[in-house]
Amino acid sequence: MKILAIDPGTRFAGYAVMAKNGRSIQLSDYGLLKIKTTNGWAHRVGVFYDLFKEKIKEHSITDICFETAFMYKNAATFMKLGYMRGIIYLLAHEFKLQIHEYTPTTIKQAVCARGNATKEQVASMVYKYFPKLKRPLKDDVTDSIGCGICHFNISKYSKNR
């Protein structure tokens, strides 16, 4: 199993390509997609789609995991995040991939053993899992890696593949 873990966003999207080898988790690619806000929504969604389509093909991804959206104070922001989530579902359909969504609390619990951990605590644990990572990484990137760690730590799928 090779997963693409995504922290979707409308301006920044973190991603990580990960696989499990025995008991260890391997991180083969990670980064940050910066989406220019000066372009229209069609362009922004297209940039998001193009990058993740390329990552799926480049790495022979079998599964996608990401954090379940929660209602922000701003309903418009929540709706726009839905566009990006829709693209993830479209890619999963197009490439016949499994999708796994995890709540923020579940990810924090799986990575930090505390469901109310801060973003800084998640990042700290990510650096412990992968000490060779360049520091500091933007929260979007460490959040995506944390989502991948969560998937491999709790998913029944990772134990069967």
Statement: residue 80 has pLDDT above 90: no
Q: Which of 58, 63, 139, 140 is catalytic?
A: 140
Q: Which of 7, 50, 54, 101 is catalytic?
A: 7
* 40 or 53: which leads in pLDDT: 53
Judging by DSSP bridges, how do beta strands 63-67 and 2-7 pair with one another? parallel
Question: 21 — phi, psi (to 5°)?
Answer: -125, 100
For the chain, which residues make up each domain, given as ranges? 2-160
Rounded to the nearest 5 percent, the helix, strand and coil shares of the chain are 50, 25, 25
Range name among 23-27, 29-33, 38-42, 86-90 with the lowest pLDDT average: 38-42
Q: Tens digits of per-residue pLDDT, 93-128? A: 999 999 999 999 999 999 999 999 999 999 999 999
Statement: residue 72 has pLDDT above 70: no
Residue range 2-160 in CATH 3.50.50.60: no
pLDDT reported for residue 160: 44
Q: Which of 63, 67, 101, 120 is catalytic?
A: 67
Residue holding tokens 């923020």? 104
pLDDT reported for residue 79: 80
- pTM, two decimal places: 0.92
pLDDT reported for residue 156: 59
Q: Tens digits of per-residue pLDDT, 136-161? A: 999 999 999 999 999 999 875 444 44
Catalytic, 67? Answer yes
pLDDT reported for residue 92: 98
Catalytic, 139? Answer no
Instruction: Report the Cα–Cα distance between both ends of the chain, in Å, rounded.
Output: 6
Catalytic, 140? Answer yes
Statement: residue 2 has pLDDT above 70: yes
Among 10-14, 18-22, 88-92, the range of highest mean pLDDT: 88-92
* 152 or 82: which leads in pLDDT: 152
Question: 63 — phi, psi (to 5°)?
Answer: -140, 150
Cβ atoms of 97 and 56 closer than 8 Å: yes
